[in-house]
Amino acid sequence: MKKRIAVVAGDGIGIEVTREAVKVLQAAAQVGGHELACTEFDWGAERYLRERVSLPPGALEMLRRDFDVILLGALGDPRIPDMSHAKDILFGMRFGLDLYANLRPVKLLHPKLTPLRDRGVEDLDFVIVRENTEGLYVAMGGNFKKGTRDEVALQEDVNTYKGVERIIRFAFDYARAHGRKRLLMSDKSNALGYGHDLWQRVFAELAPQYPDIESRHLYIDNLAFQMVKNPAQFEVIVTCNMFGDIVSDLGASLVGGLGLAPSGNVNPDGLSMFEPVHGSAPKYAGQNVANPLGAILTAGMLLDHLGLSQEAAWVEEAAKASIAEGKTTRDLGGSLKTSEVGDWLANFIAARYPARSVPTNRR
C-alpha cells in the first residue's frame, strides 16, 4: 500500500536537509519496492511573515485524515525573534496530535565521532524516551508585577497519572519490542516530592508487569554524570519532558553532535511526526553546507515506523558508510555539500542493495 508522507521542511537549513532526507527515503523505498507519496507544506517563517499564518486552521485534522506520517525539517528564523510561528507549528503538532513519546536514539555510528576517550560503537547505543506532552512544557503559569523589581513568575510543572503511566508503559513496551533488556527511569524525586514522587510510584507499579526487563532508577543529575562516565550501561532511558530535552542534547554530543541526531515524536495510536533534533541554523541556511545526516537518519526512523524496517536499516548502513569513508559535510571532516551527501547515500543504497532485497521482505 502506498504510504503518504506530509513533508514540512520549515525554515533555514531545514529546507536543504529535508530535501536530502526525502531523496534517501525515496531511494530506499524504491529498492524495497514500496511507493511513498510525499506532499510538501510550506508552513514556516516565509509563510508566516507573508500571511501571518503559522499552523493553518484545520491543519491537524487534515494531517490525521490524509497522511500516515509527518516529516519535519526545522523551524526558526531571526526575523521572528519570539519564535511564535515555530512554537505554533512544533508544539501545535506535539500537543495537538498528542505525540507523547519523543524517541531520541543515542547511537555511535563510528568511533571517531565520540569525544569520549576509549569508547567504541558498542559503548554507545541507547534510546532516550522523553515525555513530550506535559511537565514544564504545558505553558501554565503567569506573571505578577511583570517588569518591576517585585516581579513573580510562575511556571507550572504538570505531571498527570495518565501522562506518566503511558510514557513509562511506552518505554517498557518499546524495550520489549526492540529486544532491549534494561530500562532506566530518571527523575528528581529527591527534590520534587510531588510531581516526581508520582513518577516513582508509577514506575514501581509498572515494573512488575515487565519481569523480562530489568528496571532501574537514577536521579537526573547522576544520569548526566553516568552518561559520560559509563554510557554502555544504558539501553532505554525514560524521563520527563524537560530532563529529556537536556539529556538528549548531552547524548547527541556523545555521538557526534546535533548534526547527526534523529528523533521521532510518536503517538502509538495515531499519526506520528519525525524531526532531526537540530534547529534551523540560520547562519548556514541556503549555502548547501549543512549536515543532512540527522535528517536522513530521521527519515530512517520514519521508515521503521511505517513498518519498512529493512529500508530503515539500509539508510543507517548508508549513513555509517558515508562517515567511515569521509563522504560527509565539513563539520564531520569531509568536503561534500549537503546535496552531495544525499546523492552519495541514495547511490549507495541503489548500488548496494538490489541483489540483497529478499522478496519475502516485501509488503
Q: What residues are annotated to the active site?
A: 137, 188, 221, 245, 249
Q: Which residues bind Mg ion (CB under 5 A)?
A: 245
Total site size for ligand IPM, rule CB under 6 A: 2
Query: Grid coordinates 536530502 are at which residue?
Result: 20
| Nearest residue to ligand IPM on Cβ basis | 245
CB of 288 to Mg ion, least distance (A): 25
Q: Going residue by residue from 272 to 311, which x/- string records binding to ligand IPM, judged by CB under 6 A?
A: -----x----------------------------------
CB of 277 to ligand IPM, least distance (A): 6
187 forms part of the interface with ligand IPM (CB under 6 A): no
Q: Which is nearer to ligand IPM, 74 or 207 (CB)?
A: 74
Backbone phi and psi for residue 155, each to the nearest 5 degrees, phi listed first: -135, 110
77 forms part of the interface with ligand IPM (CB under 6 A): no
- Which is it for strands 214-219 and 182-187: parallel, antiparallel or unpaired? parallel
Chosen from ligand IPM, Mg ion, none, partner binding at 11 (C-beta under 5 to 8 Å by type): none
Q: Which is nearer to ligand IPM, 76 or 195 (CB)?
A: 76
For the stretch 114-119, contacts whose Cβ atoms lie closer than 8 Å and that sit 24 or more positions apart, written own/partner, are 114/254, 114/255, 114/256, 115/253, 115/254, 116/228, 116/231, 116/254, 119/231, 119/232
245 forms part of the interface with ligand IPM (CB under 6 A): yes
CA 294/CA 84 separation, integer angstroms: 24
Total residues found in the chain within this entry: 363
Element holding 339 (H helix, E strand): helix 338-352
CB of 229 to ligand IPM, least distance (A): 23
Radius of gyration for the alpha carbons in the chain, expressed in angstroms and rounded? 20
SS3 (DSSP) at 93 = helix
For residue 352, the one-letter residue type is R
CB of 179 to Mg ion, least distance (A): 28
Cα 338 to its chain centre, rounded Å, is 20
Q: Which is nearer to ligand IPM, 15 or 277 (CB)?
A: 277
Chosen from ligand IPM, Mg ion, none, partner binding at 316 (C-beta under 5 to 8 Å by type): none
| Nearest residue to Mg ion on Cβ basis | 245
Q: Which is nearer to Mg ion, 187 or 245 (CB)?
A: 245
Q: Which is nearer to Mg ion, 68 or 245 (CB)?
A: 245
Q: Of 107, 38, 31, give the one whose Cα is nearest residue 69.
A: 38
CB of 74 to ligand IPM, least distance (A): 9
Q: How far apart are the first and last CA of the chain?
A: 8
Q: Which is nearer to Mg ion, 85 or 169 (CB)?
A: 85
CB of 33 to ligand IPM, least distance (A): 34
Burial letters for 105-141: b for 16+ Cβ neighbours within 10 Å, e otherwise?
A: bbbbbbeebbebeebeeebbbbbbbbbbbbbbbbeee
For residue 219, the one-letter residue type is Y
Query: Grid coordinates 513568575 are at which residue?
Result: 153
The torsion angle over the Cα atoms of residues 271, 277, 279 and 280, rounded to 10 degrees, is -60
Q: Which is nearer to Mg ion, 245 or 311 (CB)?
A: 245
CA 78/CA 90 separation, integer angstroms: 17
CB of 335 to ligand IPM, least distance (A): 30
Considering only residues 259 to 278 of the shown chain, the ones binding ligand IPM according to CB under 6 A are: 277
- Interface residues with ligand IPM (CB under 6 A) are 245, 277
